[in-house]
A = this chain, B = another copy of it.
Amino acid sequence: MHLVLTSRILGILLMIFSLAMLPPVVISLIYQDGGTEAFGIAFAINVIAGFILWYPARRYRKELSVRDGFFVTLMFWLVLGLFGAFPLMLSDHPGLSFTDAFFESLSGLTTTGATVITGLDDLPHSILFYRQQLQWLGGMGIIVLAVAILPMLGIGGMQLYRAETPGPMKDSKLTPRITETAKALWYIYLSLTVACAVGYWIAGMNVFDAICHSFATVAIGGFSTHDASMGYFNSAAIELICVFFMIISAFNFSLHFLSWRRGSFIYYWKDPETRFFLGILALAVIITGLTLATTQAYSETDSWRHALFGVVSVATTTGFGIGDFSSWPSYLPFLVFSLAFIGGCAGSTGGGMKVIRTLLVYKQGLREIRRLLHPNAVIPIKVGRKPVPDRVIEAVWGFFSVYIITFIGLQIGLLMSGLDMVTAWSAVGACINNLGPGLGEVAANYGEINDPAKWILSAAMLLGRLEIFTVLVLFIPDFWER
């Protein structure tokens, strides 16, 4: 561990992050919403804190080790979550407590989209823009993390994607590869955002809402500038655009990179994870639509509209709403919510356990049943036509095991804080899968639950976003040994 190096990096990071306070300043000046001061102070705090971290360590230059990588990754979200909370505390509206502000800030940066705020429609434009921007920046971070860092660290089977990572791969050191890859990915990310915003604007949103919602869409974040979320616009065109970009953003960004560089869409279709993902979505939409129509929860047209939007929003772990899926009849809330555990594809801004891991887990189950009949046959697990190395499957299972143990621990914590069973289970699920809305008391909003529960759920968001291992590895004694 190079703590001095870490300090230098975090200092630089904070100083760069302080720039994120400036667009809201501009917006507060345009709309005269009174937010200028809060963002000004927050800017100063970030710059000063960044400088204090950076200055003593400024001449310290070393390559990042893998251990440093884990630590910096965790600190990236933790420190930004903390300093990102300032405007939400300093502004009179919403004027959140420290707990609430940290929860909201981390929920933004981890692209979870769980909110403690009600009355969004009445908030200053600068605050609204800032929340959306937090998600967008968080999404950027995740793309780099998921495409460039996790495969290299080999977390939970993600070494599977090592060879496919764009950018120079032969180099064994972290820094140059990340910089190179990051540029290409951010370019794609930015293009998607612009396309999405233009789409929303053409479909009828005003410029402010179009930009704000495009941020939350490509980041698979789910924050909105309205309490009614996407339902506010009541527009089938907007919903379709949203569905399209939610799905696109839940694809592996390596595929976007590949398709863009080689000018062909065939790579999406050739990818087994993407196909499996689309298959699950299609199946879930059909089941949900049929059930909604037959139970007459909505009119027939509306049933399909709600089914499509609701399923895609939850399955991609975006969490936008045009209605409240948690009040759908019978088994639908459970079924739809369960899709968030599968989540988006690896290397996307989506949360959950990732489609590829689910696919491997499913194939392993099938293989074991076959093996009972053919005990001596060698049955490789294949994704596409390539056999998956045992090492990867072991890692996926290790991930799964730790995921479940962590989940149960967090759920017990919430139950101790006083939440009921359904709320506790779904709140952990909604946060660890970076989905946002849950069931029961947290179907719409996290404002009413107790403070200890909010801290536990903050931990859940962070654990989920960093694929759990990145956090847990810091707790084993080996990590801190020389």
Listed in ascending order, the chain A residues whose CB lies under 8 Å from chain B are 66-67, 70, 153-156, 330-331, 334-335, 338, 361-362, 364-365, 367-375, 390, 393-395, 397-402, 405, 408, 411-412, 415-416, 418, 421-422, 424, 439, 469, 472-473, 476, 478-479
Contact = CB atoms under 8 A, between A and B. Distances in A.
Residue among A67, A153, A371, A398 facing the most chain B CB atoms (10 A cut-off):
A398
A371 B155 CA distance: 9
Secondary structure call for the A interface: helix
A473 B416 contact: no
A398 B364 contact: yes
Contacts of A393: 394, 397
Contacts of A469: 368-369, 372
A473 B369 contact: yes
A476 B368 contact: no
Residue among A368, A393, A399, A402 facing the most chain B CB atoms (10 A cut-off):
A368
A95 B53 CA distance: 78
Contacts of A365: 398, 401-402, 405
Given A330-B415, A369-B473, A415-B334, A401 B362 contact: yes
Given A331-B415, A368-B401, A368-B402, 7 more contacts: A153-B372, A334-B412, A335-B412, A368-B394, A373-B476, A373-B479, A374-B478
A400 B479 CA distance: 30
A364 to B, nearest CB: 5
A127 to B, nearest CB: 35
Interface pairs A-B: 4 shortest CB-CB: A368-B398, A331-B415, A365-B401, A365-B402
A217 to B, nearest CB: 29
Contacts of A415: 330-331, 334
A79 B52 CA distance: 76
27 contacts: A66-B372, A67-B373, A70-B372, A154-B371, A155-B372, A156-B368, A330-B416, A330-B418, A331-B416, A338-B408, A361-B397, A365-B401, A367-B394, A367-B398, A368-B395, A368-B398, A368-B469, A369-B469, A370-B476, A370-B478, A371-B398, A373-B473, A373-B478, A390-B390, A393-B397, A421-B421, A422-B422
> Within the oligomer, what is the number of copies of this chain?
2
Contacts of A155: 372
Given A154-B371, A330-B416, A412-B334, A364 B397 contact: yes
Contacts of A395: 368, 371
Contact of A154 (B372, B398, B399): B372
Given A369-B473, A370-B478, A472-B369, A394 B330 contact: no
Contacts of A412: 331, 334-335
A273 B194 CA distance: 57
A252 B420 CA distance: 36
B331 A361 contact: no
Contacts of A370: 476, 478
Contacts of A421: 334, 421-422, 439
A334 B411 contact: yes
A129 B461 CA distance: 53
A153 B361 CA distance: 22
